[in-house]
Amino acid sequence: MSAASALSKSASKTMPESTTPALADPTAAKSVIPAGQHGIKEHSDGRFGYVPVQTRSDRFKSVQVADFETVTGREAVWKHSPIAKFTDLTAGSLDGSRYEIESTVSTDVSVEWVPRTDARIGTAGLPEERAAANAWSVFDDALAITVSGEEAKEITVTRSSLGNSARGAHTIIEAKPFSQATIILQNTGDARLSENVEIILGESANLTVVSLQEWNDSAVHLANHFASIGRDARLKHVVVSLGGSIVRVNPSVRLAGPGSDTLLLGLYFADAGQHLEQQVYVFHDAPKSRSRVNYKGALQGQDARTVWIGDVLIGNNAAGTDSYEQNRNLVLSEGTRADSIPNLEIETGDIVGAGHASATGRFDDEQLFYLQSRGVSEDEARRLVVRGFLTEVVQQIGSPELEARLQLAIEAELIGTDDK
Amino acid sequence: MSVLEIIDLHVSVETDQGTKQILRGVNLTINEGEIHAIMGPNGSGKSTLAYTIAGHPKYHVESGSILLDGVDVLKMTVDARARAGLFLAMQYPVEIPGVTVTNFLRTAKTAIEGEAPPIRSWIKDVREAMTGLKMDKAFAERNVNEGFSGGEKKRNEILQLELLKPKFAVLDETDSGLDVDALKIVSEGVNRAKANTGLGLLLITHYTRILRYIHPDFVHVFVNGRIAEQGGPELADRLEDEGYDRFLVPSNVG
Ligand SMILES: Nc1ncnc2c1ncn2[C@@H]1O[C@H](COP(=O)(O)OP(=O)(O)OP(=O)(O)O)[C@@H](O)[C@H]1O
Ligand SMILES: [Mg+2]
């Protein structure tokens, strides 16, 4: 069996709310998750070995909102989300007009509005649920960020005044062959937004996309990022969700060219009443492609809620691939819930590595006592633990200024929730 | 010279069955530089005494006092006690996810000293202490106690003892779970700490074997929540031969 290397590390304590992996191929499942391993829970609901009727790539797709039934909350993509709180985005009519952006500038990066007829639209992926299709149906123009030039460069595109009416939006980020850049999408202010972001990497492009959610407390943001990665190209994709009431950013990445490579990072901090969700999907659709997924989250406060779903599909033409995904959650208080659901489907026997890990650990009173008994104050103890936990992801972003700012933002999260 | 005094200490915990008395009038005075061994059967309250000195919130002091150089320790927070010079090497050290040993040690040292230690000498101190305890360099970058074996956790406790330089340390069964080699290494670490700083030690143990390496000035027999007898090192030998039977009143067993 070549599907190998289950590098599951254990959670420090219990896994209070962690959900269990659902695997399409039970034999692959067994090779990847040794039963009863500490920190990894096997199916406790008696469905172990249940084979979904449908492989992940076969999900229904359409750009027409009318092609999707009314959302009930029973759908795989919605069942963890508070759907009643954003019916305007799934069923209402959305404002698809242009909105205000602010952007830093760099040579070889253009930021412009392009019409719906732009040839790139629809090339990276298509909606698999109603809110995404709703947004797709209404946008007037797409915001297009086009990168050329082999030198490294960085730009930040900021949206801060989307307002409180329900919107649909579309963004294209294209990295031309051999180009290189870091694109930071920064989101602040109010929003009720459903959007699709297409990320297209030409041959040997090297692109970093950071989506930063620091919305106001009441904001609702549903995003689908679709990436298509060409031959030998590399995408680093980072989702940072700190602010907002409901934030759902779901990246789907298709490793489309041989030798393509992706690193998907996520960082989230849910405080009281916040719902932060990410459904990550990596489709190995070419030989020798490689993926790494690492999402880390902290939860603190009553009804702080996070969802992570990590689907990896290794297609039958994807020989010699190497993939690993993990999600770790750190629970800082009572009353929170973290769901963590890795799924792995393997359609080829020729694999270099495929593994996953998921764990939810508590920061508990005994840890606090231990640190305090060494002279560390309670506040400092929490900071130490959370910082230590999340730093691994922050440090991989590769933008020193942003990394420094995020460290501060994380500390602010800790303090912010202490006040509640 | 510093002194730690425990005076008529009564401690209880809340259990599902209600309040449970554990310590029933403990009296003990430890001067700086002295080594006191506390020996007693399982469940007699030894860890409770250790945790109460450190300030664990689970343990409720009903009456009595703990004074460090005349200052009321019971009024201090857990971290303030550590900064005042108290240290507890725990029987079961917990894992701290996301915090490396290096980061943890530096943070603790900074908290206790009130300022960050000079980088160069600190790195050297840490390295030397780890070498002395035969801890691989790799431990420095691992998360505190995460995946450590029982023996490695105990070494990590003594590493902190050596680096944080308390005035008084309580070692709660630091010897249990150690093989002979590890026992020697850990004991040497404790003796080094004492030689370097002249701290006072309260050594909780079930067995006399650690007392071959760390020589107590006083031995206390702890039974049913209080000190039943005290003496010099010879008392430990007697306990080894006779066990605790003669201290146990049948109605209090269990
Ligand atoms: N949190 C607690 N809840 C309920 N009972 C407790 C609690 N902590 C201690 N006890 C009880 O108090 C008694 C003393 O416990 P303690 O841990 O102090 O004993 P010990 O002398 O250290 O024992 P050992 O030699 O096994 O380490 C025991 O009967 C124990 O079960
Ligand atoms: Mg004990």
Given pLDDT bands bounded at 50, 70 and 90, which one contains residue A389? confident
* SS3 assignment for chain B: CCEEEEEEEEEEEEECCEEEEEEEEEEEEEECCCEEEEECCCCCCHHHHHHHHHCCCCEEEEEEEEEECCEEHHHCCHHHHHHHCEEEECCCCCCCCCCEHHHHHHHHHHHHHCCCCCHHHHHHHHHHHHHHCCCCHHHHHCECCCCCCHHHHHHHHHHHHHHHCCCEEEEECCCCCCCHHHHHHHHHHHHHHHHHHCCEEEEEECCCHHHHCCCCCEEEEEECCEEEEEECHHHHHHHHHHCCHHHCCHHHCC
Output Rg (C-alpha) for chain A, integer angstroms. Answer: 21
Best of B16, B44, B59, B62 for a ligand 1 pocket test (most atoms within 8 Å of beta carbon): B44
At A391, is the secondary structure helix, strand, or coil?
Answer: helix
Contact A373 B79 (CB under 8 A): yes
Q: A245, A272 in Cβ contact below 8 A? A: no
pLDDT at A181 over 70: yes
pLDDT tens digits for A278-332?
Answer: 999 999 999 999 999 999 999 999 999 999 999 999 999 999 999 999 999 999 8
How many whole angstroms from B43 Cα to the centroid of ligand 1?
A: 5
**pTM listed for this prediction:** 0.76
pLDDT at A392 over 60: yes
Tell me, what's the ipTM? 0.95
In chain B, residues with a C-beta closer than 8 Å to the C-beta of A391 are 98
Return residues 354-373 of A near B (CB < 8 Å).
361, 363, 365-367, 369-373
Torsion angle (degrees, nearest 10) of CA B203, B206, B209, B214 = 0
Contact B82 A365 (CB under 8 A): no
pLDDT at A24 over 70: no
Query: To the nearest whole percent, how much of chain B has pLDDT over 90?
Result: 87
Contact B78 A361 (CB under 8 A): no
Distance from CA of A353 to the nearest CA of B (A): 24
Contact A380 B111 (CB under 8 A): yes
Q: What's CA A346's distance to the chain center, in Å?
A: 21
pLDDT tens digits for A237-270?
Answer: 999 999 999 999 999 999 999 999 999 999 999 9
Query: Does B114 touch chain A if contact means CB atoms closer than 8 Å?
Result: no
Looking at residue A116, the DSSP 8-state letter turns out to be: T
User: Which residue is closest in CA terms to ligand 1's atom 2?
Assistant: B13
Contact A370 B96 (CB under 8 A): yes
Report the pLDDT value the prediction gives residue B254, as an integer from 0 to 100.
44
Which of B14, B99, B172 would you mutate first to test chain A, the one with the most A CBs within 10 A?
B99
In chain B, residues with a C-beta closer than 8 Å to the C-beta of A359 are none
Which residues, in sequence order, are bridge partners of residue A297?
A268, A329
Kindly state the average pLDDT of the residues B1-22. Answer: 96
